[in-house]
Amino acid sequence: RGTENFSTGRLSVSGVILCFCGVVERFEMSTKKTVFPFQQDQLILRPPKLPLARSLILMLGLTVGGSWLAWQGKLVGWVVAVGCGLGSALAITQLFPNSTYVRLSHQGLVMCSLFRTRSLRWADVEWCSATQRGVRVRYLVEGRVRTVDISSDPYRMEPREMAKLANTWRIRAARA
């Protein structure tokens, strides 16, 4: 909506918001492109920023509405203002570059959510399987079997596609 006007030099309100949020830098075309994992040293999957920007706008609007109700002395206003204010902070944090991603490389799998990273070496990973909502990775730590689930929804991928991609990288690393 705001992006159609970028080529003509006119910016709509949503275009200005997208520019402000830093979304224009990379409009996440990776959601529909074909990925060829054998042509790269690493593959980084990132969630698209547009839904996050929309959530931020919604949360900010609800925060203003809740603040107005709280100003009128209604308890529900405080609940809405505080809850949506925290949601706004979360949405802003996720709009920062490198706050959320999944990186597949020769060494292993790196998952990052809200700037907290978790790394798994391919040597420790037994398998990756598709679940209803994402990918389950089974791995060994100090002889104990552990699992971690990665939601495929933020990355706009089907769980089977994401599991197949992870297994392709795991097998490729085992052969190297």
Q: Where are the alpha helices (H) located in 6-48, listed in sequence order?
A: 13-20
Half-sphere exposure of 36 (CA within 13 A, CB side): 2
Question: Mind listing the pLDDT tens digit for each residue in 49-74?
Answer: 898 899 999 999 999 999 999 999 99
Whole-angstrom Cα distance, residue 16 to residue 106? 39
State the pLDDT at residue 57: 94
- Is the CB of residue 122 less than 8 Å from the CB of residue 170? yes
For the chain, percent of residues with pLDDT exceeding 90: 26
Angle at 90 between CA 61 and CA 146, to 5 degrees: 145
Whole-angstrom Cα distance, residue 71 to residue 24? 36
Least confident of 3-7, 57-61, 140-144: 3-7
Whole-angstrom Cα distance, residue 78 to residue 56? 19
Note the pTM of the prediction, 2 decimals.
0.67
Q: How confident is the model at residue 24 (pLDDT cuts 50, 70, 90)?
A: very low
- Is the CB of residue 12 less than 8 Å from the CB of residue 5? yes
State the pLDDT at residue 6: 36
